[in-house]
Chain A
Amino acid sequence: MLIFTLKRLLSLGLSLIAASVAIFFVVEIIPGDPARLMLGINATQDAVDALRTQMGLDQGLLARYWLWASGLLQGDFGISYTYRVPVAEMVQGRVWVSLPLALYALLLSTLIAFPIGIIAAAKRGSWADWLVMGGTQLGVAIPNFWFAMIMVSILAIKYGLFSAGGFPGWDEPLAALKALTLPAFVLALPQASILARVMRSSLLDTLSEDFMRTARAKGRTARGAMVHHALRNAMIPVLTIIGLQFSFLLAGAIIIEKIFFLPGLGSMIFTAITQRDLIVVESVVMLLVFAVILVTFLVDITYALVDPRLRRRA
C-alpha cells in the first residue's frame, strides 16, 4: 500500500509538471499582446515596450515559464494585468466560494444518489425502480439554469426560505451556508441523477456475481448480502464518477454563479479571458488542474482501500 501511494504521488507530480507546461504554452499561443491591450490602441510603441519589459514579456518563453512556475510553487501567482493586484489575492476570495459550493453540491449529490440508487437496484423492476429511473432521466434532462430560476422564484422569492442570490461572506457561517444551499442543490440535481444511475447499474452487476450467491448460501438475508458484500464491490465505478463530478463542480458552475450572483472562480476566469488577463487565466486554470489531479489521486487511493486487488498494481 505504501509503494502504491508513493507511485501515485510520483505520477501526481509528473502530471502537474506536464499540465503546467501545457497550460503555459497554450495560453502563450493565444494571439494578442496584453501590454498593447492594457494601454489601448493609441499608446506609443515606446510605452508598450516599457510595459512589456516591466511585465517581463520581453524575456524568452522558457525564462517566463520558469518565473511563472517557480512563483506558483511559492504561492506567488503574479500580478493581474488588468487590476494590478496579486492574482493570489483575487483567487483567495473566490476559492472560498467555489470550493465550499462544490463540496456542498457533491455532498448533496451523494446523499441523494446513494439511497435512491440502492433502492432502485434492490427493488429492480418495481414501481420504486421505475420512479427512480424516470426521475433521474428528468434530472439529467432539465437545464440547470432554468431549474435554478424556478427554484429562486418559488423557494426564495415566494416563500423566502433561501436567499435569491449574493454571498454574505464567511463571517456569518449560517448565512453563508444558506446562500449556498440553493445553488448547491441546483448543481447537485443532475449530478445526483447520473450518480444514482451509475450506483444502480453497478450494484445490479455486483448482485449477479457468484459471491452474492455464496453469501446467501451462508445464510445471509437478501438485504444482509447487499450491505455486507455488494456495496463495497459496487463502489469502484461510483467513485470514478464522484471524482469526475467534483472536478466539474469546481469550475463548471459559471452559469449558476451568475444566476445567484456568487463571486466564484468560474465567473472570475470568464471575465479574465474576455479581458485577456492571461496571468489570471493561467494561474486559475493551473489551480483547477491541481484540484482535479489531487482529486484523481485521492480517488486512486480510495480504489486501493476499497479493493485489495488494486494495491499491487500501480
Chain B
Amino acid sequence: MSLLEINGLKLAIGAAEILHDVSLSVDAGQITAVIGESGSGKSMTAYCVNQLLPRGARTKGNVQFNGQNMLALDESTLCQMRGKDIGMVFQEPMTALNPVQTIGAQVAETVLIHGAASKPEARKIARDTLNRVGLPEAEFPLSRYPHELSGGQRQRVVIAMAIALRPKLLIADEPTTALDVTTQAQIMDLLKRLVQEDGMGLLLISHDLGVVADVADHIVIMRKGKVVEQGATAHIFKHMQHPYTKALFEASSHKPDREAKPQDTPILEVKNLIRDYTLPRKSLFGPAPKFRAVNGVSFTLKKGESLGLVGESGCGKSTLTRAILGLETIQGGSISINGVEVKAGHTVPRTLRRNMQVVFQDPYGSFNPRHKVARLVSEPFHLLESPPKGEARKAAISEALTAVGMHANDADKYIHEFSGGQRQRIAIARALIIKPELIILDEAVSALDVSIRAQILDLLAELSDKLGLSYLFISHDLSVVRAITDRVMVMKSGEIVEEGATEAIFQTPQHDYTRALLAAAPSLEDLMQ
C-alpha cells in the first residue's frame, strides 16, 4: 500500500469537468512527478489531495492517504492534517508569503496551529527548519520580512513552512517555475535531499519535463484531465508509448529550421553602454547612492542575425533592453541603430525607434483588454509620420495578422477571446506591422506551454527567413536560446561575461559563470541518451 493512492478521481467545478478518472500513487521516500501543459488538471489533482479546492468543486473516486480517504473527511479533520501530515509548496514564492509577518512567525505558525509545541519551542523549531533549508541564522534571522529576501530564498521559507512538522507527504506545485536556472537547480536539490532525509513522499507538479526528469522516480503524464501515460522515469524515457508523450518530448527540445544567413551590415551597435539607477537616499543629506545596472556593455547585432542574451534575474538584461528601445536615457557609451548614433545623456529618438519593436513575456498583461485586436495591433503606427488610413490601414492589419498565422477577421475581436499562444502571435503581429528590421523578444516564449512554444519558435524562424528580421532574444531558458539563436551573450551583474557562436558556447563554455548556468540547466537531450 502506497502512502498516497489516487484511484478513479473525478473532479467537476460547476458545469466544467476538470478531471476524468485520474489514478496515480506516491510512495514514502519517493518522488512522483505529474507533468502536463496548462489545463491538463495537474494542479487540481494535487489540490484534491489536501482538499484545498475552489468553491463549488465536486469530487468522486478515492484519494487514499495514509489509510484514510481524503474525500470523505470533514473540514476540521482536514485542517488538522494540512501542514502536519501533508505539506505544500507553491509556484509563486513572491506572493506565497504574508508580506506583513516575519519569516520566523510564519514558519513557527505551522507548529503553533497544530499545538505541537509551546511558543519558544516553536521558534526553535522554526530556526532549525530554516537552517535545514539553507537559510542560516547569521544572514536570515527570524525577524526578517519576506520583502527582504530574493525569490529563491522566499521559496526556501515556503519549503520550511511545509516541512516544519516533518509531514509524510509533500506536494510541490511548480516549485521552481518562477525561479532562475541556478536557483531552480538548488531548490530541486533541496527538495530531493529533504525527501531522502525525512522519508517523505513528494508529489511534484511541473510543466517542464527537463526539471523533473533527473529527480523523479515515477512520471505521470497528464492531458486534459486524464492520465495518458505513467511509469518509472527511466522506463518512460526509453519506452514511451503514447503519441502525446512523444509529442511533449519532441516539443520540449524543439529546434526550428532556420535558413536565414546574417549579413555583414550591423543593424544595432552598442558601445560601452552604461545605465545607472538612483537609489533611495540612505541618509537625509549627502548624494543619493547609484546602482549601475548595465556596466560597459558592447555588442553588435547584424542584419538577419538572431542574437541571444541570457542571464539570471537582476543581471541587467531588461534594463539593457529598455535603453535600446529608447524607454530610458543612457548615462554612458552609445547605441547606434542603422549607423545613427545615440550618445550618453540622450534617449533613442522616435525616428530610430520605428526600426525596432518588442514582444514581452506576458501574453495576458501586455494588451489593453478594452481595445479590439485591430487597434492593439496598429498601435505602433504612432511611430510613423504618416500612418496609413482607411483601407490601407485595414490591409496592413490583415497582412500582419495573416503573417503570424491568425485570420484577418480576428481584428474585430477582443483579446480575451484568445489563448495564451494566440495572444503571443498577436503580440508578434503588433511588432511586425510597421515592418521593423529588429525585433526584441523579451522572454517572449517563457510563459507558454512547450507545444505552443515550439509553434511560436517555428513562426519566428519562418518570419526571419521571409522578412530578413534580426532578433535580440532575451531569455533565462537556455534550451530556447540554443534553438533559435546564431550567437549568444551571457550577462552577469550588468556585464557581458562571455559571447560567441551559440553552439560553441553551449559545447565549450569558457567562463565559470556560463559553465555554472549550463550545469544547472536541465537538458533533456542528455537524459534521453
Contact = CB atoms under 8 A, between A and B. Distances in A.
Contacts of B241: none
Interface string B302-314: 0000000000000
A308 B145 contact: yes
Contacts of B280: 312-314
A313 B279 CA distance: 11
A233 B98 contact: yes
Given A217-B50, A219-B110, A313-B280, A210 B95 contact: yes
Interface in B266-322: 280, 284
A211 B95 contact: yes
Nearest to B162: A217
B151 interface: no
A178 interface: no
Interface stretch (B85-93, B184-192, B249-257, B472-480): B85-93
Nearest to A230: B98
B46 to A, nearest CB: 11
A213 B52 contact: yes
A2 B110 CA distance: 32
Contacts of B147: 308-309
A158 interface: no
A233 B99 CA distance: 8
Contacts of A306: 100
A224 B99 contact: no
Contact of B158 (A214, A216, A220, A224): A214
B96 interface: yes
Contact of B100 (A6, A217, A308): A308
Interface in A3-58: 3, 6-7
Contacts of A84: none
A2 to B, nearest CB: 11
A215 interface: yes
B100 A221 contact: no
Interface in A206-242: 209-211, 213-221, 224, 228-229, 232-233
A307 interface: yes
A211 B98 contact: yes
A307 B75 CA distance: 31
Contacts of B145: 308-309
Contact of A217 (B76, B87, B114): B87
Nearest to A210: B95
A218 B113 contact: yes
A239 to B, nearest CB: 13
Contacts of A213: 52, 90, 96
A6 B161 CA distance: 36
A221 B52 CA distance: 11
Interface in A265-289: none
A233 B98 CA distance: 8
Contacts of B109: 215, 218, 220, 228
Given A210-B92, A213-B52, A213-B90, A219 B81 contact: yes
A216 B82 contact: yes
Q: How large is the interface on A (under 10, 10 to 19, 20 to 34, 35 or more residues)?
A: 20 to 34
The residue in B79, B145, B284 that gathers the most chain A C-beta atoms within 10 A of its C-beta is: B79
B426 interface: no
Interface in B152-176: 158, 161-162
B52 A217 contact: yes
B130 to A, nearest CB: 15
A214 B79 contact: no
Contacts of A313: 280
B335 interface: no
B114 A309 contact: no
B96 A218 contact: no
A313 B88 CA distance: 33
B335 to A, nearest CB: 32
Contacts of A7: 284
B83 A218 contact: yes
Contacts of B133: none
Contacts of B284: 3, 6-7
Given A210-B90, A309-B99, A217 B79 contact: no
B374 interface: no
Given A219-B83, A219-B113, A233 B96 contact: no
Contact of B90 (A6, A214, A229, A308): A214
Nearest to B85: A219
B80 interface: yes
Nearest to A307: B100
Given A210-B90, A313-B280, A217 B99 contact: no
Contacts of A6: 284
A252 to B, nearest CB: 32
B76 A307 contact: no
Given A210-B92, A313-B280, A220 B79 contact: yes
A166 to B, nearest CB: 46
A219 B80 contact: yes
Interface of A: 3, 6-7, 209-211, 213-221, 224, 228-229, 232-233, 306-309, 312-314
8 contacts: A211-B95, A211-B98, A215-B98, A217-B52, A218-B110, A219-B110, A220-B79, A233-B99
Nearest 6 interchain pairs by C-beta: A219-B83, A217-B88, A218-B83, A210-B95, A219-B82, A211-B98
